[in-house]
Amino acid sequence: MALPKYTEPHYRIWHYIYLTICGAVFFFLIAPLFVIFPLSFNAEEFLSFSDGMKSLDPDAFSLRWYKDMIYGTKNPWGLAAKNSFIIAIFATIGSVILGTVAALGLSSRHMPYKGLIMAVLISPMIVPLIISGVAIFFFMAKAGLAATHTGIVLAHIILGTPFVVITVTATLSGFDHSVTRAAASLGSDPVNTFMKITLPLILPGVISGGLFAFVTSFDEVVVVLFLAGLENTTIPIQMWTGLREQLSPTILAVATCLIILSTLILVTAELLRRRSERLRGINR
Amino acid sequence: MSSETKQILTTDGIPLEVSLKKAERKNKIKAFLLVAPLLFFLIITYVFPIGDMLFRSIDDKMVTQMLPKTFKAMETWDGQELPGEEVFAAFHEDFIKLVEDKREGKLSTQLNYTKNGFKSIIKKLRRKSKSFEEGNYKEQIMSVHKRWADVEYWRAIKRRAPEFTSQKYLKGMDMYVNEEGKIVSVEEDRRIHRVLWLRTLEIAFFVTVFCFLMAYPIAHLLATLPMKYSNLLMICVLLPFWTSLLVRTASWMILLQQQGIVNDFFVGIGLVADDNRPEMMYNKTGSYVAMTQILLPFMVLPLYSVMKTISPSLMRAGKSLGGTPFVAFWKVYFPLTIPGIGAGCLLVFILAIGYYITPALVGGASGTLISNQIAFHMKSTLDWSFASAMGLMLLSGVLVIYWLYNKIVGIDNIKLG
């Protein structure tokens, strides 16, 4: 943002102060993530930069923590990663199906008690997680689902659906309902219309809602802490235990992998958002 | 002409109005059926359990069910002097039954919550009661221990008669019902919960303020920069947003530790001595710094989406009408961003007030919040009814904030992402 030539000096100074503040805030936001990356290649067991690393000595860097993460004896990461992916995938599928169908109903103009129902549907997002954790734990304990994969998947469906409902409802708000009427008038049954007409049009919204649901489940630790037994350990639980007991560089190796994963998800989500905006004809 | 003759009929002879209503109802049912699976799923697995929490938090049936006859006999007792023989006899009868079921231990624990000193005298009563003779139970029970002859203890038993209690809620505010049945506060040095509530509010408030102060300039920059630069900078906001909470907390643990990079930097520029590195983690500072950074994107995104819609010509108009840039900003730009400020502050405050993971890891003893206390009672003391009571107190706080927000700003004005 270049200043016009005629700007008075003291506004110019203000402008540079403003830019400096912005720079500092961006640094504060993003820098912590980049600390993890180099330290995960540390050859030593310390969580600070060794003198060798500061002078970029190749011997000071190694992949030993990545090896430890994958091959280490008694290491929990393999099981945790497997569980995390299984749980997140099923939770995403569940959230997407339930959430999309509900969003279709919600965006119909015939829907009665819309406000109240919407409030119930997005309540898991509003209620503090710790309370959701306690409530869901009580339910799962009564239903005999505590410490099972099913229980955790159901819990994550509860937490994930609000995101799907919100993104899909937003996509449907710009949806031209006359195309479904056109399909119906041409003899298509509702299911066929949905699969052939509606779904392809709202797909970006569905997928980005699904991504939210996936990340919510993959990242979720509060509710899982109440629900999980030893068998159902997930990556967040292992991270949590590791961070509480002893900060080892292996955790940083895992963290680096997670950052890479979230970068991929971010890129996908952004591409989808832009595509969706293009499809809906919103030009910002 | 009456209105009936004017009625329009559809081709199959049904009045149009009726036919339309029928179609309308059909559409309503259709829409509702689509929402129904998720709605019922959430009601069963989520809304009812929250109701269950409410029930648990006030439920006090245990003692009521253990001493049914005693409480029946006590109904006529005024609580001034020692109860009569019939109460003692009923208590004896209930107690023998409990001993048979091996449940007298539970009774002693429960009564001990109400008044200290029940544990030992119930143990003693169990031993002695085996050799009790029939009749005159009052004398026999009183001879077991002098506390059984103390009216205070019988009053304590009577206080457990109701099936419901507000005791857990009072405990959450460091209050209790004293011997005379009045609600009083616990001694000053034992008011741990009030300290926690205040600290939770304080941390949530300041984190919101810090987030606002930091997010406003960068949201403004993002909204006014040309697209190709702002997209790049937006990644700086979105990447932390999508990154695991635990990863971000871990990075703060590395940065803030005593031998960590922040401390190294302070030593490097000579701000602190090498042997006098400040503790920046496991205290409030840790909670403040980490929570501010983690919640910052939730403030930036709503602000950005509001600022994006403000036309730059408004500021130019303000300036051309003679306002200095500051006046133009304050009178024109700032008021237009208020919906974004409201949404961002609401989001951050509500997320902060229920925060659990980050304070537990970097907060230490002085930086933990009410959520940590709830988790502690769920996992360690197993006092689930107390955890439920605290959870519901927190929840009602959150709902009050939403309600206030809706009154002041209007929930419809919220804009996300």
Give the chain B residue nearest A49 (alpha carbons). Answer: B261
A chain contacts of residue B402, beta-carbon cutoff 8 Å: 126
Measured between CA atoms, the residue of chain B closest to residue A38 is: B251
The pLDDT assigned to A280 comes to 63
Residues 234 to 253 of B: which have CB under 8 A from any A CB? 235-240, 242-253
CB of A161 less than 8 A from some CB of B? yes
When pLDDT is averaged across residues B276-299 and rounded to a whole number, the result is 88
A75–B contact, CB cutoff 8 A: no
Model confidence band, residue B1 (pLDDT cutoffs 50, 70, 90): very low
Phi, psi of B164 (to 5 degrees): -120, 150
pLDDT digits (tens, 9 = 90+) for B334-353: 988 888 898 889 989 999 99
Shortest Cα distance, chain A CAs vs residue B284, angstroms: 17
pLDDT tens figures, B32-69: 999 999 999 999 999 999 999 998 888 888 888 888 88
pLDDT in tens, B133-188: 887 888 888 888 888 888 888 888 888 888 888 888 888 888 887 766 778 888 87
Residue among B67, B65, B87 nearest B76 (CA) = B87
Domain membership of residue A107 (yes or no) is yes
Under 8 Å between Cβ of B121 and B127: no
**Has residue A265 been placed in a domain?**
no
Q: Look up residue B301 and give its two tokens.
A: 């995104």
Q: What is residue B416's predicted lDDT score, i.e. its pLDDT?
A: 46
Count contacts between A and B (CB, < 8 Å): 251
Question: A56 and A140, same structural domain?
Answer: no
Chain B residues whose CB is inside 8 A of the A135 CB are 46, 49-50, 52-53, 391
Residue B366 in this model has a pLDDT that exceeds 70: yes
Shared domain check, A14 and A43: yes
**Partner A, chain B 53-72, Cβ-Cβ below 8 Å:** 53, 56
Residues A119 and A31 in one domain: no
Report yes or no: B305 and B369 within 8 Å, Cβ to Cβ. no
Residue A104 to chain B, least CA–CA distance (Å): 7
Same structural domain for residues A128 and A213?
A: yes
The whole-chain average pLDDT of chain B stands at 85
* pLDDT value, residue A283: 44
Residues A17 and A88 in one domain: no
Using a pLDDT cut of 70, give the percent of chain B over it.
Answer: 96
Residues A53, A94 within the same domain:
no
Distance from CA of B274 to the nearest CA of A (A): 15
CA B123-B124-B125 angle, to 5 degrees, is: 90
Query: Residue B412 has what pLDDT?
Result: 56
Asked if B382 is an interface residue toward chain A (Cβ–Cβ < 8 A), one would say no
Chain B environment of A154 (Cβ under 8 Å): 45
Does A100 share its domain with A157?
yes
Instruction: Using pLDDT thresholds of 50, 70 and 90, give the confidence band for residue B389.
Output: very high
Task: Kindly list the structural domains of chain B, giving each domain's residue range(s) and its CATH number in brackets, ordered by start.
Answer: 3-58 (no CATH), 61-163 (no CATH), 192-413 (1.10.3720.10)
Evaluate whether residue A177 is within a structural domain.
yes
A278, part of any domain? no
Tens of pLDDT, residue by residue, chain A (284 residues): 567 777 777 888 888 999 999 999 999 999 888 888 888 887 777 777 776 677 777 777 777 778 777 777 667 888 889 999 999 999 999 999 999 999 999 888 888 888 888 888 989 988 999 999 999 999 999 999 888 999 999 999 999 999 999 889 888 887 888 888 899 899 888 889 888 888 888 888 898 899 999 999 999 999 999 998 888 889 999 889 888 887 778 888 888 999 998 889 888 888 877 777 776 665 43
Number of residues that this document lists for chain B = 417
Interface of A with B in 12-31 (CB under 8 A): 18-19, 21-22, 25-26, 28-30
Q: Is residue A172 in a domain?
A: yes
* Cα separation, B200 vs A16, whole angstroms: 36
Q: Do B245 and A161 touch (CB under 8 A)?
A: no
Domain count, chain A: 2
Could you give the CA distance from residue B295 to residue B240 in angstroms, rounded to a whole number?
A: 9
Contact state of B243 with A139 under an 8 Å Cβ cutoff: no
Q: Is B196 on the interface with A (CB under 8 A)?
A: no
B174 in helix, strand or coil?
A: coil
Q: Does one domain contain both A237 and A166?
A: yes
Domain assignment present for residue A229? The answer is: yes
Please, what's the b/e burial string for B184-215 (b: 16 or more CB within 10 A of its CB; e: otherwise)? eebeeeeeebeebbebbbebbebbbebbbebb
| Predicted confidence band of residue B203 (pLDDT cuts 50, 70, 90) | very high
| Domain ranges, residue A168 | 78-245
A267 touches B: beta carbon within 8 Å: no
Q: Which of B392, B374, B393, B370 is nearest to B383 (CA)?
A: B374
Residue A115 and residue A173 share a domain:
yes
What distance in Å separates residue B283's CA from the closest CA in chain A? 15
B78: number of Cβ within 10 Å: 7
Contacts of residue A110 in chain B, CB cutoff 8 Å? 24, 27-28, 30-31
> Do A14 and A92 fall within a single domain?
no
Name the β-bridge partners of B9: B15
With respect to residue A282, please indicate whether it lies within any of the assigned structural domains: no
With b for 16 or more beta-carbon neighbours within 10 A and e for fewer, the B232-246 pattern comes to: ebbebbbbbbbbbbb
C-alpha B221/C-alpha B241 separation (Å) is 18
Contact B244 A258 (CB under 8 A): yes
Distances (CA, A) of B272 to A120, B268, B277, B305, B388: 52, 8, 6, 41, 45
Report yes or no: B411 at the A interface, CB cutoff 8 Å: no
Are the Cβ atoms of B39 and A135 closer than 8 angstroms? no
Same domain, A112 and A228: yes
Tokens of residue A220, six digits = 């979720």
Round the average pLDDT of chain A to a whole number and report it: 86
What's A155's domain CATH number?
A: 1.10.3720.10
B318-336 confidence digits (pLDDT tens): 888 887 878 888 888 898 8
Cβ-Cβ contacts under 8 Å, A270 against chain B: 238
pLDDT of residue B258: 80
Cβ–Cβ of A128/B394 closer than 8 Å?
Answer: yes
Banded model confidence at residue B381, pLDDT cuts 50, 70, 90: confident
A237 part of a folded domain? yes
Looking at the fold, whether A42 and A143 belong to one and the same domain comes out as: no
d(CA B385, CA B329): 52
